[in-house]
Every structure is written in C-alpha cells, then in structure tokens.
Amino acid sequence: MLPLDAKRNTESYSYPNGMLNIGWIAGVLRHPGNGTCFIQQTASENHMIPIEFDPRKSPIPRDVKELDIVMAYCHVIGFKDGDQRSLRLRAIRFEAANTMHMDKRFIEDLVKKWETKVHDAAKRTATPEAIKALQAAQPQSIQERLSAFDWRVMQMNRNASNQVRLAGFVQAKSLERNRVIDGKPVNDRLIVLLRQTEDPDKCIPIRWYSRNLEPLANMLRRGLPISVSGEVRLDVKAVGAPDPETGVAPVSKVPFIQAKDLPGPVPPDSDLIRIDPWWAVELFNNLGKPTAPAAPVQDEAAKAADFAAQFQSANTQPTT
C-alpha cells in the first residue's frame, strides 16, 4: 500500500521505470474482486475502465463498496495481444474521491439538492417526509442506483478524474489519414508506441485524433524522447450481431491513452526521464539518416500493411 507520506510526495511513486508514469482515475467503483475492478465514468458500461491491483499491497479500502465513488492511483503497462497493442492500469493506491475530482456543475447541482432538502425539513417540527420516505424505502437494485447518477453533470471522464502523464522514447508510429467511417470523413489518427522498458512488447500505445496530423507524425521520429499528458479511453467495436432478446451486441474493448495536447520534447537533463536506458541504443542506430514522411493510408489493405511495417521494428531485438 502507498503510505500517506509517500502519497503527498508524487515523485515517490511516479517513476516506476525511471521515467514518468502515473495516472489518476476517479469514478464509480464496479465489480470489485480479487485483484480486479472497474471504474465507471459514463452511463455506458462498455466504457468502464478496467483496473488491476494487488489485494495485499494495494487493497480497496474496506469502507468503499460497489457504486461508491473512488479514485485509483495507477501505473500504465503496455502489452501485446497478438497483433493488437493495448495497456493495463495497475493501481498502487485507492481512496475515496474528493470534490476536486468532480466538475463544477456537479458541485452546484449537489448544493441545490441539499438546499431543497434542508428548506423542506425546516418547515416541519416533526420528522421530515423525506426522512420518513428514506426509512420506509426498500434497498435499491444496482441498476436503480446506477440510474440515479447524473453522468452528464458529473463529467468524471475528463480533467482531474481521468489524467495520465508519461515520458519515454518513440518506438514506432502509424498515421492514418483520410479516414471514413459510415461514409463520413473523420479526423486523422496517429498512433505512437511509447517505450519505457527493455521489452518492446511493453510499449504504451498513445493516440492523437485531429485534422492533418502528418506534420506531427513527421516530427515524431524513432528514438525521440517525449512527454505526454492524456486520458484513458477504450476503443469499443461491435464484433457480432445483437442478441435478438436483449438487443445487446458483443463488443471488443481495447484500452489506450488519448493525448490531450501535443507532446513535449525531453532534454537529457530533464527530471521526466531519470535513467540512462542502455537498451535505447537500438533506437538511435539510424541517427543522422533522413526519415521518410509518414505515408497516408487510403484503404483497409494498405492500412494493415502500413501498420504492420511501422510496428515490425518494435518486435525485432538487436543481434549480438
């Protein structure tokens, strides 16, 4: 468990690999189990963020139950599942969320609710009707309690409630331009593998979505040390037809980091990277040689070939 004095000193837990790697995720606790749980930040359960933890070293506090609001301090761990790049969040501490994790409108809405309740109670000398109703009410089901959350007002999937900070070396990149979804043009997508360890399979996938990302893609060359501020997101896609009875379709869920802004360069004397990684030498083998600009991807076949070529180097170890 992260001690209280260490919690106050962010540097004590923000550099698990000698490089900046820390995230804070706040939301509604769901399905707590032996070493796994989810944090729900929107009305869609498909976008619940999976969290893993050590029940002995980083347990969920006993007074925090399912559907309570909780915050997790996390490290981001990249991994490879077949050809798919993904990530896991490993919690090093849980605690009850505080008001700084909520949007301003949530606070205003909460005060208005208490104002109505208190004024209603002040008109009576006996037990208020609201209290009587609470005393007579039956325990609510999970679905009823979930429906009581005003997800739009709470806005728990952004700002202080969903924040990740990382620093590392660019291992590989893939740019997708001129994308079309359901017949409509959408923003470019740039995927970068951020490397923090000797094992290239543990690179962390980071995505940018915007118009014309080609200039940024051309700047992010292999071996460039960068810092990134982002949010945890899930790429959710239907993988089958909806169930005829429930209407619910099976989906795949791939977690990734969505960058909030442009990456920053990390100079050699920066505190964001505090080690001299010997394994990074392979990233600089082609230093000084001109790099070809990232080519736009036009169709699915070309997109798959381009993606595979960009990421092939991440799986190639240097020979000795």
Q: What is the pLDDT of residues 253-285, one digit of tens each?
A: 999 999 999 999 999 999 999 999 999 988 887
Which pTM was predicted?
0.74
User: Which pLDDT score, from 0 to 100, does residue 245 have?
Assistant: 80
Note the pLDDT of residue 320: 42
Domains of the chain plus CATH, in order, are: 4-100+155-160 (2.40.50.140), 103-154 (no CATH)
Residue 161: the pLDDT is 85
- pLDDT tens readout for residues 30-86: 999 999 999 999 888 899 999 999 999 999 999 898 988 899 999 999 999 888 999
Of 12, 10, 41, the C-alpha closest to 231 is 41
Question: Which residues make beta-bridge pairs with 53?
Answer: 91
Q: 84: burial class by Cβ within 10 Å (0-12, 13-18, 19+)?
A: exposed
Higher-pLDDT residue of 294 and 149 is 149
Compute the average pLDDT of residues 98-103.
64
Q: Stretch 19-34: mean pLDDT, rounded?
A: 94
Rounded CA-CA distance 109/114 in Å is 9
Residue 76: both structure tokens together: 């981001």
Longest dimension (CA), the chain: 85
Q: What is the pLDDT of residue 47?
A: 92
Compute the average pLDDT of residues 219-228.
Answer: 95
Predicted pLDDT at 152:
65
What's the rounded Cα separation, in Å, for the pair 60 and 37? 9
What confidence category does residue 107 fall into, taking pLDDT thresholds of 50, 70 and 90?
confident
Would you say 167 and 225 are in contact if contact means Cβ atoms under 8 Å apart?
yes
- In tens, the pLDDT along 236-250 reads 988 888 888 877 788
Mean per-residue pLDDT of the chain: 82
pLDDT at position 211 over 50: yes
Q: What does the pLDDT average to over 89-95?
A: 95
Instruction: Read off the pLDDT of each residue in 298-303 and give the average, rounded to a whole number.
Output: 54
Alpha-carbon gap, residue 222 to 299, rounded angstroms: 25
pLDDT tens readout for residues 117-152: 777 776 655 666 666 665 565 555 677 666 666 666
* Residues 6 or more apart whose Cβ sits within 8 Å of residue 81: none
